[in-house]
Structure formats: C-alpha cells, structure tokens
Amino acid sequence: MTIDSLRSQHRRFIYQAFSYQLTKVGLEITFDFLLEPNIQFQPQLTLEGVTQETLDHLPAEQLNNLIFNLGLIEIPSYWKCACSPEICVQAGSLSTEQIAWWQDLFIKGMGEFYFTNQIDFTQPNFVQIVAESRSNTAVGKASLEENQYSQPYLIPIGGGKDSSLTLGLLDQASQSYGCLVLKPASPAALTLAQQSNAKQIIIISRKIDPKLLELNKQGYLNGHTPFSAYLSFVSTLVAQLFGYQQILVANEQSANQANLTYLNLEINHQYSKSLEYETNFRQYAQKYLGSKTNQAEYLSFLRPLYEIQIAKLFSQFPQYFTQFKSCNIKQQSGTWCGHCPKCLFVYLMLYPFIDTQILTQQIFDHDLFADEDMIPLALNLAGLGEHKPLECVGTYDEVQVALYLARKKYQVSDPDSQPLPPVLATLNNQLLTSRPDQAWEELADHLLTSWNNNHYLDASLVKLLKSYLT
C-alpha cells in the first residue's frame, strides 16, 4: 500500500471518547479511536493499585483532563498506520495554542517514522488537527481538598544503565522515591525497581489494540513513535494521582544530538528525550495538566551529563551489572543480542571503566570488539558512516573518546602480545591516528568533567549529582 492510497482511503482519524472504571486491579482506561471509514481502535491501559481513595486526591474535572490528554499522546501509534490528513478530536476541548503544540509534536516527534517510510511530511496540509470543541484552558479547577504532594520523586524505570544509575544515586543519598514501571517492558525494569529502596512501585499495563498489528501485516504503515513523550503524559497522571512532587526521568544531554537531516528537518530518534521536548512539555504541563496546588514537575535528572559520564558513574554500581538491559531486539527476553548498534554502544561506553572479564562474561557473553560484523556499526556510531544509528546512543565526540580510551586500556593491559581486535583496529586506523594522543586526552578530560547548565534541576538535585561527579 502506498502512502497516497492510504491517505485517500482514510481521510480522517477521530479521537471519539475515553472512559475509565475502577476494577479489582486498579484504574482501567479505554480510548475510542476511529480510522474512517470503519476501523475502530480501543487501546487500553490499567494503573494497578489505584483505589477510590487514590482518585479522591484529584477533582473529577482534573482527572478527566489528564486522561483526555493521555489519549492525545496515544494517537500517533494508531494514526501512523495510514497518516490520515485530518485528526479530529471529539473527546475533549483544545485551545489554539494546544493544537499548535500537538502539530509541532506530530512533525518533530514523528520525524524518524517519516524518514524510514520516506514520507513527504512537508506537503501542504499534511496533517491538520481539528478540535470540535475549543477552549482557552483545559486545566481542572483547584480545591482545598487536593493532595499537597507528600511524596518527593517518581522514577520511571526503563531497565537501562541510566535509570539504574538514578536509582543507585538516590539510594546512596537515602532519598525517598517511588518507581513507575510500564508493561510490557524489559524484565530488567521490574527487577531493578523491586531490588531498589523504592517506597512504592506503580505498575501500568498498556494494551495495544490487536487490529493495529493486523493492519501492519496487511501493509499499513509502521514505525517509530515518540515513546518518551507518552511516558511524560502517563507519568504526570500517576504523579498527580499518587502525590509525587517531581518526575525524574534519566535523559542526558547526549540525547539532544540529531541522527540525520531529512527534508530539512533534523531527525532525532531521541527527540522526546531532548531538552527541547522537555522544555515544551514542562510549559504544556504547567498550563494544561495541573492546577495551582496540584502540579507535578517533569525533569531529567541526568540532563547535565554526557552518556560517557553516566557510564563512568554507572561503573561504581556493580550490583546492576547483571540486571540492567538496553537491547531493544532482545528486550522482552531480558538479554543482549550482541549484534545491534545499541549493544555495541553500551559495550563501548562501559569498556574503559569496567573490568574486561566482567564486561565480556557477566554483562555480555563475548568481546564485541572481536566481531568484524560490528565494524560498520562502529563507523556509524563514530560519525564515519552514513548517519548515526536510529537508536538511543551518544554523540560522535563521546563515542570517539570511548574508542580512544578503549584502545588505551587494551594496550596497557596487553601491550606486547596481541594486535588490536578488528573493531578497534579499524577505528584506530580510520580515526584515532588522525589526532595526537594529547588531543584525545584533552577531549576526554573535557567530556568526563563536563557540566551542562541547561537543565531544570533544583539546588538539592544539583548538589546530589555533583557530589558523585567529584
């Protein structure tokens, strides 16, 4: 099926309604979507552990508004199958400013999807969002009975080294927090949450409508959607229900670098992890997702740092070495595939800081530098290939520094007997020999001691994070 035929066949995507009910498990939420003329979707999610007492923390109007907005961020996962020219919102009201915000997200947040499917999103009226009900605001009214946020931090757990490090730092500092685990997810996420010092673990089960998967098999479009944007909305709902003051995600400054440019748009696989999205969402949430007395703040705990700094800090928490997992290919099985860009990136980041035997036997099951098939991936990661892999990976500079530090470690540990393994040998010849060692040392020192002031951390979080850097 071509994009033009799909758009012609399905002119409108309608967000018809949402509903929710309390069950023995928790709060069950259902969204009603219609892909005209006749394809109905009903995605669901269940917030486990929600009771009537939990719901009493929020006025009904505010709860309805939070769930309505959660339905809005659910739309991209279903709209993308046909890219209907019009998205019609019937389930609630939107202001002109909100519509503009969502239009922007449907371009920047879906950039990778457009690139991988070679869709011209620049054509006039590619997608228009129409709200049948307009308003100046959609925020619930405050009441004296509202929850005053007795809990400090809510930590969404993804299962990788970044969220593991966040848990480790907060535990060492004896901070109080709760964890949010979204299922289906990596088994590592729930394991990390259960073995942490979390005061509470909140589990959300998200169900994709099986009709979407059936349509994909028939040739309807599929691809990347901004998952971290979904996480920002669902974690805001959870925070306001359970009384958390701040939502600490584990996004870093490396997420700001785009992967490539397509039709004059910077395509960033991690757009919804970027500072730009974080800033935009914070502004949206402040205006449309809370009230004066009920406002959960969304911010990235690791934003001042590079991935390579996170890897170095993570190396100080050996209790997570066998638990964390980041491979998207083997995520559900809780293992590493050992052959994808994400596996190679994590291996490369950790190599300078973790004992090689532990890295190759306890975390991974072999030396990824010895695999010649990984050479093209390494070149892409280091900026010598076609483009940065469409994965959650770091900047070119820190990949290059990690390669330099890996070569240095390898030569120090085994200076005489063996040549460099294929991946390091290739990158050494094509990259590392282009600069003197002193230049690499200076760049390494710059990255490893860097602190980016473009963040939203308060003074206590800055103090906590900086204490570990020194």
pLDDT of residue 410: 87
pLDDT of residue 141: 42
**Residues in contact with 119: Cβ distance below 8 Å, sequence separation at least 6, in sequence order:** 3, 83, 113
What is the domain partition of the chain in residue ranges?
Answer: 3-136+148-300, 325-448
CA 398 to chain centre: 20
The 8-class DSSP code of residue 390 comes to S
d(CA 196, CA 201): 10
d(CA 449, CA 163): 21
**Which secondary structure element, helix H or strand E, spans residue 86, and what is its range?**
strand 86-94
User: Which residues of the chain fall below pLDDT 70?
Assistant: 134-150, 291-294, 413-417
pLDDT of residue 151: 77
pLDDT of residue 373: 95
d(CA 244, CA 177): 9
Q: What is the dihedral of CA 138, 141, 146, 149, to 10 degrees?
A: 40
Are 216 and 180 in contact, with CB atoms under 8 Å apart? no
pLDDT of residue 377: 96
Which two structure tokens, joined as six digits, stand for 443? 């760049």
pLDDT of residue 133: 78
d(CA 332, CA 412): 38
d(CA 337, CA 324): 14
Q: 450 in helix, strand or coil?
A: coil
Selection from 224, 229, 221, 189 nearest residue 205 by Cα: 189
d(CA 83, CA 78): 9
Q: 17 in helix, strand or coil?
A: strand
Q: Within a 10 A sphere around the Cβ of 211, how many other Cβ atoms?
A: 15
Query: What is the rounded end-to-end Cα distance, in angstroms, of the chain?
Result: 56
pLDDT of residue 294: 66
d(CA 143, CA 135): 21
Q: Within a 10 A sphere around the Cβ of 445, how many other Cβ atoms?
A: 11
